[in-house]
Structure 1
């Protein structure tokens, strides 16, 4: 699953970019220069290799945040968390999941509210398990809609708070939501 998700992100992000409005600076395959440097790359970003990008995506945006553990329960949710995590950071993606689970627990009658800590831990996984057990197959689709609603609101807020981000809003909504 993750190999296909990584390929899709790399294909969507494209090759080298250094858009003046992008605070991330120079990127290749969606990996910012600062992330590449933190992972030991010292060359020009124009020459950053696709396999190196794929390894970073797997390590930092799938394994480390624990999205593989979500995938064992809800593959569609895990795919969304990965994609959102690539674009906004894994902790933000996880917090969207946690907020959605809390809002969908019917006043904590289905399962207790969980701490919004941006980490996939036992409480988050237990809440997800309980939600899916109660809501069955349709629940994953509803949970996905809630996560995407939070993501879309964040994109709009980013564009409203920093006009330079309006250059990216259309693409964010077109490529990251739904």
Structure 2
């Protein structure tokens, strides 16, 4: 099993199965895949319906994760497995563009959300462990901001903190 398969296993474990929580901005989700993401991936021209989300298979979810959260943003070239895991999980949770922007901000390059030659060069020259800590810090600050600016999101705070603790403790 390669690093990406392990990351996908962990994301599926964290996200669980079908959920349709009223406070979830993503609406119905299955394996962490939202109605909007599924509709986009299937080229429906609309968000998927709750029954379509509920029918999503784990195999399909993994394919979506690979395409939209690993290959799409350009994370497949990151060789530091902990940093790769953090960025993919951040993309799943907060959007791949935001995850790329956190990486770019930590690298000190323009945070445009696109991994291009300047980002790749800065990444190659960076201390990956230090970079991991900087990206993790940005992600934690963002979650704190979400909880304080949208009180409905506090319903998810304990789960988010448990998720983040795995990255802080290095158990991922």
Q: TM-score range by the shorter chain?
A: 0.7 to 0.9
Aligned to 2:71: 63
Structure 1 residue runs without a partner (length 5+): 103-113, 132-138
| 8 Å Cα contact 1:101/1:128 also seen in 2 | yes
Q: TM-score with structure 2 length normalisation? A: 0.87
RMSD over aligned CA atoms reads 1.4
1:170 & 1:140 partners in 2: Cα distance?
28
* Cα shift at 1:75: 2.5
| 8 Å Cα contact 1:70/1:125 also seen in 2 | no
Note the 1:150-165 alignment, pairs <5 A. 150-165=138-153
Q: TM-score with structure 1 length normalisation? A: 0.84
Encode CA deviations 1:21-41: one digit per residue, 9 max, x unaligned: 001010000001121122227
Q: Please list every run of at least 4 consecutive aligned residues from structure 1 whose deviation after the TM superposition is greater than 6 angstroms.
A: none
Structure 2 residue runs without a partner (length 5+): none
Encode CA deviations 1:125-177: one digit per residue, 9 max, x unaligned: 1011122xxxxxxx322211111110000000001110001111221121134
Counterpart secondary structure, 2:110? coil
| 8 Å Cα contact 1:14/1:29 also seen in 2 | yes
Counterpart secondary structure, 1:44? helix
The answer to whether the aligner puts 1:146 opposite 2:148 as a matched pair is: no
Note the 1:1-178 alignment, pairs <5 A. 1-40=3-42, 44-71=52-79, 74-102=80-108, 114-131=109-126, 139-176=127-164, 177-178=167-168
Q: Number of paired residues?
A: 158
